[in-house]
Amino acid sequence: MTLDPRSVAGKTLTVEGHAQLLVVGAGPAGLAAAIEGARRGLSVMLVDENPVPFETMGESVPLHFGGRVGGVARNRNAMMEAMLESAPAIADAFELGIDVRLGTACWGLYVNGANLGWMPAPLAGLADEESGTHLVSFERAIVATGRRDMGLAFPGWEQPGVMGATAAVQLATRYGALEGRRAVVLGTTAEALLAALCLHERGVEIAAVIEQASAPVGPADLVAKLCEAGIELRCGEVVRAAETGLDGVRGALTRTGTLACDLIVLGIGAVPMVDLLDAAGCRLAFQPERGGFTPVLDGEGRTSVDIIQAVGDVAGIWPAKSRDAAIAEAEARHAVAAAAASLGRPGEEATPAPVPGEPAYDIGAYRKDWVRASIIEAEGEPYVCQCEEVTAREILEVRPPRYLDWQAADNRERTLAAILGEGPPNPDQVKRLTRAGMGPCQGRRCREQVQALLALQAAVPLGSVPLAGYRAPVRPLPLAAASPHAEDPAFGEQWDSWFGMPRQWVPFWDVDEEYTVASLAVEKPHASE
């Protein structure tokens, strides 16, 4: 049998580093996992994308920073020092000999399986500002990528000053780089209330906490603390629009008037950051007790890809866990004990972490109610997908991108049922037809909103509509960073045929020896045509 020289068979990858245990994320759970792994005698690599480059933060990646990042974030040294000061356990990790790589994003995990079988080992794609992209191999991976916040469209939400609660707290507490002095917080989830109290303690005036429901949904004691702090709580209310000026948000327009503010903080739903897991093929399921779509785990934190485990907020978000980092740390230590045993390093068993109980409210209905009240009932048509400028109507009518000039010519009835057929609508289909979710932020601001819109349109529970899928790279990379440091010459020899789309399906034995796209003969039309 002759191998196709244009396939990957027989080619070698350049792998720059190896760890028995790869930990992605240096929050409380990730640090606990890395330190526990080192104490059990494993070689550990700990990677964390923070501090994120200022330019990347401007794209609201990985969190919805909302254009309110202070100038101090341009100073990489200051950001790195602030990160080290905010997480003293990072110093402990260095002392234990852990290979700590800060400012390094993990953009993909690859494990041989049914559709992939040629790699020499499980691999992780990493990227940093200094060395670009490279691959490292691992034997077990623990993903502790944390959470972000669900976006919420209303007129003016694309302006500087509208941001996620997680991003606001990180900027205020870790980096001291939050530009804003007066905030309106949306939502009364435990995470929203904790964010409001944290920002208040950091000197940010909280103009009000706004809730579309008739009563708060978060823990009663946090609501009481809010009242003790003198923070106004408005139920049965939403932000109708953001009043803006040259520098962004200047106020939040509500049914009863305008609240002066320069920050509108979105806290209607903390979302597990599952992009890396989904792209790696780990099975997800809607688990309301864990905050939405999360990886399906066994009792030791293993995903459906058994060498990948998940701990911390990416494995589930619930009030007790958001209030006490010890729960995430216990998850991490228990997962590492299982990973170490599988690598021939059995040791003392770790105590299992507490598991969530039934949620205090229906998070699916809650998020749909916010989308209905804020987007569908909005005065005007805000862009749900900011990057591609797609409105809710265009999503629900499955309208093609407006640059195709459909408004003047296309009068056909366009419904999800007519175009997509029966069954729950799939956001991936809608994404391909409307481009909603295909922008630089990779759907981080609109993904859950599109899911909720489709669930409302189809009159089905939120969990019955899947999230749009993720693909590697799960972080935006410049083309220069995508270029490998060293590449097997056999790859480069076949580039012409790989990128020559007219010859894509021609057998390799029929392709010209020296073939380039430029060499294709172009047949000129006859004068009569």
Residue 529: pLDDT band (50, 70, 90) is: very low
Q: Are 240 and 113 in contact (CB under 8 A)?
A: no
Token pair listed for 271: 């979302």
Backbone angles phi, psi at 150, to 5 degrees: -65, 135
At residue 112, does pLDDT exceed 80? yes
Average pLDDT of span 136-147 = 97
What is the amino acid identity at position 83? Answer: M
Coil, strand or helix at 149 = strand
Q: Are 199 and 169 in contact (CB under 8 A)?
A: yes
**Residue pLDDT, tens place only, 244-273:** 999 999 999 999 899 999 999 999 999 999
CA distance from start to end of the chain:
47
43 CB-near residues (< 8 Å, 6+ apart):
18, 19, 20, 21, 99
Neighbouring CB atoms inside 10 A of 2's CB total 6
**Residue pLDDT, tens place only, 223-251:** 999 999 999 999 999 999 999 999 999 99
Please, what are the domains in the chain?
15-147+271-342 (3.50.50.60), 498-529 (no CATH)
Residue 120: pLDDT band (50, 70, 90) is: confident
DSSP assignment of 478-512 equals: -HHHHS-SS--HHHHTTHHHHS-GGGTTS-GGGS-
Residue 484: pLDDT band (50, 70, 90) is: low
Token pair listed for 397: 């009518």
Backbone angles phi, psi at 405, to 5 degrees: 60, 45
CA 476 to chain centre: 11
Q: Are 139 and 20 in contact (CB under 8 A)?
A: yes
pLDDT value for 493 = 67
Backbone angles phi, psi at 72, to 5 degrees: -60, -25
Neighbouring CB atoms inside 10 A of 320's CB total 13
At residue 315, does pLDDT exceed 90? yes
Q: What is the pTM of this model?
A: 0.90
Neighbouring CB atoms inside 10 A of 352's CB total 14
**Bigger pLDDT: 515 or 71?**
71
At residue 407, does pLDDT exceed 80? no
Percentage of the chain modeled with pLDDT above 90: 70
At residue 511, does pLDDT exceed 70? no
Which residue do the tokens 């068979």 mark?
Answer: 9
Backbone angles phi, psi at 83, to 5 degrees: -65, -45
Nearest by Cα to 152 from 274, 63, 269: 269
Backbone angles phi, psi at 250, to 5 degrees: -125, -10
Query: Taking the CA of residue 119 as centre, how many other CA atoms within 13 Å lie in the half-sphere pointing to its CB?
Result: 19
Token pair listed for 286: 């809607």
**Residue pLDDT, tens place only, 53-102:** 998 898 899 999 999 999 999 999 999 999 999 999 999 999 999 999 99
